[in-house]
Structure 1
């Protein structure tokens, strides 16, 4: 419709212009009307043909190509589809939408590139620290320490062994994350009592909690049976990682609380500490590999820096959700859901 109006307006302009010129010389309204009618008709068909062939069809083709590209279709199918009656207006909107979509893609690629650079820098540092330590201890032993000071040599060997263990632990965690992301580690669903599993995890973490003077609290009201459908060993790993984190970053004489809530179709599990907390600006990145909110303190405490990333991958592999809320100086709560089995 807009196309026809454009042709009509241009034909009227040409017809009136020629008719006015004729009227100037002939001074006859009859000649004016006849000239206008003939000029308008010729101009209308001429403009219609030219616009249709060289402008309208070109714009329509562009519209179809953009439309198919947005849908991810093959370009050779672009001409076979029925398009809008107003492609000039539609192509403008399509181009705007396409530009916005491409900008989002570019921003996402920039974020991914930034993450890649940070990841490579972090993994390089994580590997270099134990490797350089082992290299230093071995160099000292090769320089004759075994004969000069056997006791110190044994201490160096012990520290070298600890650094090698850290390196092996780091490689193991990286391998596990890689397999989780690629789906190589299957989720073995089974029915089990979540309460029993939580008790087992807390029993296994009791000594570590006492060493940090932290109490593990799982209240009696949660001790009734609660059946869920999940991979029992992977959920054990999730609980161990979250509880271990709460102990590492908890305060002396503090508490770690495990809470369980029954929802309609899921069970919500919360692991809460009253420790140092996490700055709000760091919360969106807390599940990234090697991301540490306090790098100096985190490395002094230990760990691979991959625990929370593994936790997130395990929960998402179960098609469930995990989130974190925290107040700096007051504590942190990690919460995740599991599929509940209705009794």
Structure 2
């Protein structure tokens, strides 16, 4: 009770009233009734002043601070935040600062935990991806060393398989190196004006054999009658378009088609690559640009690839100060889109 607002106000008001009455008693001929009235008025007014000051300006705000601390301990950061107003009450400002600081720190902790989990997952994926071609090549070579090399047909077959495994390992290491260099900023974009329509036609020709194997048509959404000028790093955009079109062939339906379209706004060229495959489920859309993330691991392995293609696409487009977006409808296909600077005025 003593450390409640009422208890403290009572003690302080009594002290003020006693001091006031003692001071008045020093005046000669002051009647006792006057001293009693002075004591009562001083006590009542002081009590009300101290009580309301302590209750509303101190204790209530301290209780709010304890409430915030309790919620911080429970990791509950859903406190209602009113519009920020400069308040003269330092305890209110302290309360807001505690909440803001705790929220920032918790976000940092959550981000660090996410990065730690990502690092562990990445190391596990790298180990697995490296182990597969190494063990395969190792098995073929050891089989040859153990005597199979004397059989020409077996020797050629095993050497061919070992070479393919090592080629896959080489592609994986190159993609890892490229991705690492992009993330650290070691690779710079070299901008130039080029016809992205002509570039896409060249990619169609390069992937024609793979498309014919699945009877997939590679087409432009609209007839290309004039050049489509882009201002970007030609080599890196070739990587992007090759990866997106190759994926559209791999994961699109057989006897389907891959459509590439070019649209524009005032400043940008909008590039889209669309397939008519089974589509991507919503829970996978947020993660498909992660390194080694595969929607269907077994099917992806059969289709080949390092699992780093879309991660590299994402970093290349971001290096062009843009973003790659993906939309997908189950049973109707998937579309990847990004923007580039228009090259018409360059």
TM bucket by the smaller chain?
0.7 to 0.9
2:34 to 5, 27, 30: 30
Partner of 2:270: 268
Checking the alignment, whether the CA contact within 8 Å between 2:16 and 2:42 is kept in structure 1 is no
Checking the alignment, whether the CA contact within 8 Å between 2:219 and 2:260 is kept in structure 1 is yes
The 5 Å alignment of 1:116-265 reads: 116-147=119-150, 149-265=151-267
Residue 123 of structure 1: CA displacement?
0.9
Partner of 1:14: 12
SS in 2 for 1:252: coil
Q: Quick one: distance in 1 between partners of 2:263 and 2:33? A: 91
Checking the alignment, whether the CA contact within 8 Å between 1:19 and 1:33 is kept in structure 2 is no
- Residue 302 of structure 2 corresponds to residue 296 of structure 1: no
More helix by percentage: 1
Partner of 2:27: none
Checking the alignment, whether the CA contact within 8 Å between 2:196 and 2:229 is kept in structure 1 is yes
Q: Quick one: distance in 1 between partners of 2:16 and 2:315? A: 76
Q: Quick one: distance in 2 between partners of 1:10 and 1:97? A: 32
Q: Quick one: distance in 1 between partners of 2:279 and 2:206? A: 24
SS in 2 for 1:285: coil
Structure 2 CA distance for partners of 1:145 and 1:221, relative to 1, 3 Å: closer
Deviations for 1:185-220, whole angstroms, at most 9, x for unmatched residues? 110011122222222222222222112211001144
Partner of 2:108: 105
Please tell me the root mean square deviation across aligned C-alpha atoms, in Å. 3.3
**Structure 2 spans left out of the alignment, 5+ residues:** 22-30, 63-85
The count of aligned residue pairs is 301
Structure 2 CA distance for partners of 1:208 and 1:29, relative to 1, 3 Å: farther
Residue 276 of structure 1: CA displacement?
2.5
SS in 1 for 2:123: helix
* TM score, norm. by length of structure 2: 0.78
SS in 1 for 2:147: helix
Deviations for 1:140-164, whole angstroms, at most 9, x for unmatched residues? 11111112x2211211111001100
Checking the alignment, whether the CA contact within 8 Å between 1:228 and 1:341 is kept in structure 2 is yes
Deviations for 1:110-166, whole angstroms, at most 9, x for unmatched residues? 22222112111111110010111111111111111112x221121111100110010
Partner of 1:308: 310
Residue 328 of structure 1: CA displacement?
2.8
SS in 1 for 2:207: helix
Q: Quick one: distance in 1 between partners of 2:189 and 2:170? A: 24
Q: Quick one: distance in 2 between partners of 1:40 and 1:274? A: 84
- Residue 344 of structure 2 corresponds to residue 332 of structure 1: no
Checking the alignment, whether the CA contact within 8 Å between 1:15 and 1:36 is kept in structure 2 is no
Q: Quick one: distance in 1 between partners of 2:192 and 2:33? A: 95
Residue 32 of structure 1: CA displacement?
3.0
Structure 2 CA distance for partners of 1:121 and 1:38, relative to 1, 3 Å: same
Residue 225 of structure 1: CA displacement?
2.2
Q: Quick one: distance in 2 between partners of 1:127 and 1:311? A: 21
Checking the alignment, whether the CA contact within 8 Å between 2:222 and 2:261 is kept in structure 1 is no
Q: Quick one: distance in 2 between partners of 1:131 and 1:277? A: 33
Residue 278 of structure 1: CA displacement?
1.1
Partner of 1:85: 88
Q: Which moved more, 1:119-128 or 1:107-116?
A: 107-116
SS in 1 for 2:334: strand
